[in-house]
Structure 1
């Protein structure tokens, strides 16, 4: 007799989600290629500008989210095993944590470094270079590189944002959000370079601090979200602003079971997928049969592709944490 197949035993995704994931992977590889060119170009025109150096460091940090996404996605494809019975979906959350920590640490360092330049009243200078026998102010090259390299990340970021929500991938969302705001880095660095050209020595350090604060803000926002996810907080939308709609959908499904008096669930965000631990109070003890529980479990699995695993438990009363007002009085 062949073993019964359970959805949790494989990592198959719906066709439309597989296509979205494939596209996201391609965008991240394109991002890495674009960043490689950007890092080289910015390095060639760094000069003595603190703002340019900070923008260059941000470009280096921008490698972390796409790499974390690609590694996380690859690991999640590994099937569940006896050693890892829940699969490897937490790798997305761990990748999110690594990205956020790197942004937080480097953002803090850059604020201190740039702030020290401001305190010590350091006067940066930008000289000229010889191009085709003509002396050209290096600042013009800096501005040109900043403008050219600042456009692709914004376009890529908007494309990734469209995929982050259906994939429920917070690493992809964080990367897209950073890319979308990269024009601010280019604008700030450009302002710093122009400030040096006008003789405003402080403009360069101030621009560097603005860029560093942006990096730090991204780090703090993503660190909070990553820690909350790994600490089994209630699942939220990909932007971490609202409770995820599936929380309510799962509870509504359990409450409408004809043989149940009341029901509610604890939902755990595993990275891209959810695990559901449902509790139902049956009308009478005899109605919570294995067949009914299994049928309800399969219906929950079919509710949304993100619901990866479901455990249903018949109980006399709901766990205290679930005894909220919205669950009281919902008897059929």
Structure 2
């Protein structure tokens, strides 16, 4: 049975990407269980280890949000939700970003307070198998274990996030790819304690906390913009989505269309498109013309999930801000 996002049946490539992304999300959760447990047992009173542990705890949010969002978006539209449930992706992204921002801000304050108060974290000795070891070595071993798997998971998720146009999966992959910095920062802090540099631990914790705060701010901006119906952008939120221009070009190629412009909003995985088309002088498009024009665009990409084509006498500048200005600058060029 083929996979679906609501009423949108996924192409074979996206269907495979979805199955793999779900498996990677569960694998991430399984790894985090072991990482969180190991860091908690080894962290002692180290600020850097505490920050790393908190980051690992926060790392549960994106994969869990992704799994819940995918489950929700499979539901077809209802009278109460006529646009379907694709916004679940945006809600999950917002929840994850808010958690990162709040916890990052708290951890920056906590780490900075430890630095200002000149707290000296004790790292003593432990006995393992009859041998007495500096507990810092155990901390370093645990952090080394947590460094590599997230990077590999992040690299595996990134192309899937692009294929599925999934920002929760992208946020998860982006955090995973940067997790090696958390591990290295914690290791540097622990080694600093061993060398008698008490402040190294707090500085490392501040570095980790700042990284979490930055992730939170970046993701919150993208999540809020998407939920406020900003223009459709790429999965990483950096550029306008090329499909927006492609839609207008496809409509402009229809023989009876004089000009066309569209409003495209990102529903989560898929796009909602409202296209305004001006017929050529003297031509009155039939219902069949409008249907064919719509199908012409829907065939462009699976993400064009919901589309309306609206014939108008001229492009409505109130509905499409900047249309007249852009047309004027184009004519002047």
Give TM-score, length-normalised by structure 1.
0.94
Match of residue 31, structure 1, among 28, 31, 38: 28
Quote the offset at 1:317 in angstroms: 1.1
**C-alpha distance in 2, partners of 1:14/1:24?**
15
Please, which moves more after superposition, 173-182 or 234-243? 234-243
**C-alpha distance in 1, partners of 2:57/2:6?**
38
2:271 equivalent to 1:287: no
Residue 100 of structure 2 aligns to a residue whose secondary structure is: helix
Q: 1:285 to 1:87 in 2, by over 3 A?
A: farther
2:43 equivalent to 1:46: yes
- Count of residues in correspondence between the two structures: 324
Residue 9 of structure 2 aligns to a residue whose secondary structure is: coil
**C-alpha distance in 2, partners of 1:288/1:106?**
56
Match of residue 160, structure 2, among 158, 163, 177: 163
Residue 133 of structure 2 aligns to a residue whose secondary structure is: strand
2:5 and 2:74 in contact (8 A); partners too: no
2:6 and 2:73 in contact (8 A); partners too: no
**C-alpha distance in 2, partners of 1:208/1:9?**
43
* Counterpart in the other structure of 1:233: 230
**C-alpha distance in 1, partners of 2:282/2:176?**
55
Match of residue 138, structure 2, among 138, 141, 153: 141
1:160 and 1:173 in contact (8 A); partners too: yes
Quote the offset at 1:278 in angstroms: 0.3
Residue 287 of structure 1 aligns to a residue whose secondary structure is: coil
* Counterpart in the other structure of 1:274: 271
Quote the offset at 1:260 in angstroms: 1.3
2:166 and 2:235 in contact (8 A); partners too: yes
* Counterpart in the other structure of 1:95: 92
1:264 and 1:327 in contact (8 A); partners too: no
Quote the offset at 1:235 in angstroms: 1.0
Residue 181 of structure 1 aligns to a residue whose secondary structure is: helix
Please, which moves more after superposition, 238-247 or 211-220? 238-247
2:277 and 2:315 in contact (8 A); partners too: yes
Q: 1:322 to 1:281 in 2, by over 3 A?
A: farther
Q: 1:13 to 1:128 in 2, by over 3 A?
A: same
2:112 and 2:206 in contact (8 A); partners too: yes
Dislocated runs of 4+, deviation >6 Å: none
* Counterpart in the other structure of 1:4: none
Quote the offset at 1:285 in angstroms: 6.0
**C-alpha distance in 1, partners of 2:178/2:98?**
19
Match of residue 219, structure 1, among 212, 216, 222: 216
Q: Return 5+ residue gaps in structure 2 as ranges.
A: none
1:76 and 1:88 in contact (8 A); partners too: yes
Match of residue 55, structure 2, among 55, 58, 61: 58
**C-alpha distance in 2, partners of 1:253/1:222?**
32
Residues 196-215 of structure 1 aligned to structure 2 (within 5 Å) = 196-215=193-212
Q: 1:256 to 1:8 in 2, by over 3 A?
A: farther
Quote the offset at 1:11 in angstroms: 3.0
**C-alpha distance in 1, partners of 2:323/2:240?**
18
Q: Return 5+ residue gaps in structure 1 as ranges.
A: 1-6
Quote the offset at 1:324 in angstroms: 4.8
1:183-203 alpha-carbon deviations (Å, 9 max, x no partner): 000000001100111110100
**C-alpha distance in 2, partners of 1:322/1:247?**
15
